[in-house]
Amino acid sequence: MLTSWIDIKPDSDFSIYNLPYGVFKKSSENPRVGVAIGNYVLDLYAVGALGFFQDIALDISAFQQRYLNDFMRLGKPVWKQVRQKLIQLLDINNEMLQPYASQVLVPISEVTMQLPVQVGDYTDFYSSEEHATHVGTMFRGAENALMPNWKHLPVAYHGRASSIAVSGTNIHRPKGQIKPDDAISPVFAPTQALDFELEMAFVIGKETALGQTITTQEAENYIFGYCLFNDWSARDIQKWEYVPLGPFLGKNFGSSMSPWIVPLEALEPFRVQGPEQKPSVLPYLQYTGQRNFDLTLEVAIQPQGKKETIVTQSNSKYLYWNSGQQLAHHTSNGCNIKAGDVMASGTISGKSPESFGSMLELTWGGKNAVQLEDGSMRTYLEDYDTVIIRGYGERNGTRVGFGEVSGKILPAS
């Protein structure tokens, strides 16, 4: 069992087992790279300036940047060495860093978290069988819920990287073409079916060349870490536009990303076997080992000035397609990837109604309203609602959390 000399509450997301990476800004200072530990940010540039990374092939200027990209490009051996060094320095039995605590630790309450990576490309998968079945049942009937290709490949679409925003960024209600069921022609109006999607995402840390492919066994060498993700969706805009090429304006108005990237190594205790895949997948998508993670996820809706209501609780272990398969499929045609690319899981839903990962499912297409703590009802999100997604893993006294990703809905501009 590890214990830190920093006072950390037992239920903290940011234990010594975690040490997630993020980019923080304090008052008028330039952004820097840090890791979360308890209620503090550990300033990695300050740690490096004190000489604690001298035995690692690392230019500490990588920690003086506004994004994690430069550090991620240094590769997995460096990521692992830095992580091990930080665990050693923060251990209760190590006194080397303790005299410098005031120089290297900043209260999280005193910083503003930034978007952690410069996102070059963003891909959103459709990897939950439960979610895909629920949506397909609503739109096509139970007999045709899953499309013929769904169990043969990880379905995905390319999203808009420029509109990915860090947690806490307000989202304006989007406008677009909507065709009411009883109308002959569409209208242009603000969405009346604004939704969240409970997702996780992984961040690419290692680049490939055009034409190069990645196997499922190699995939984790390219994954820097994981974060929480909310792929906001305008269901009425999406419904009218998505045939034949898929999501466009119903999705690209905004996605929210948590500020902390949890290293893959921190999630090792939570590995579990994924769902059995029938029929058997093609050889390039086959894998060995436990590739899913037992991580508790929840979504809360908070009307302005009111208490929040947890409306769903799910788990990432439900995902049918794991991140290794997603990355192998993504590059199987020679598509190159770059450090900072974000690949989201798609909505993560469970089998029971209280584990559905979107309002579309929770209300079954707007037919069954959800009641909040203040007595108000929701079929979809209203203006000034704040949506908060949280996630964590906990096992044998080890807790690793993601913090949260939140966003408030503002009226259409």
Cβ neighbours of residue 220 closer than 8 Å, sequence gap 6 or more: 264, 323, 324
Catalytic site includes residue 131? yes
Q: Which of 131, 134, 329, 330 is catalytic?
A: 131
Helix, strand or coil for residue 84? helix
The residue behind tokens 């930080």 is 86
Helix, strand or coil for residue 407? strand
Closest CA to 90 of 6, 197, 182, 193: 6
Helix, strand or coil for residue 411? coil
The whole-angstrom separation of Cα 3 and Cα 87 is 10
Closest CA to 73 of 85, 61, 87: 61
The whole-angstrom separation of Cα 156 and Cα 343 is 10
The whole-angstrom separation of Cα 26 and Cα 39 is 15
Cα dihedral 399, 401, 403, 406 in deg (nearest 10): -130
**Which token pair is 177?**
């073409």
Cα dihedral 143, 344, 233, 121 in deg (nearest 10): -120
Active site residues: 131
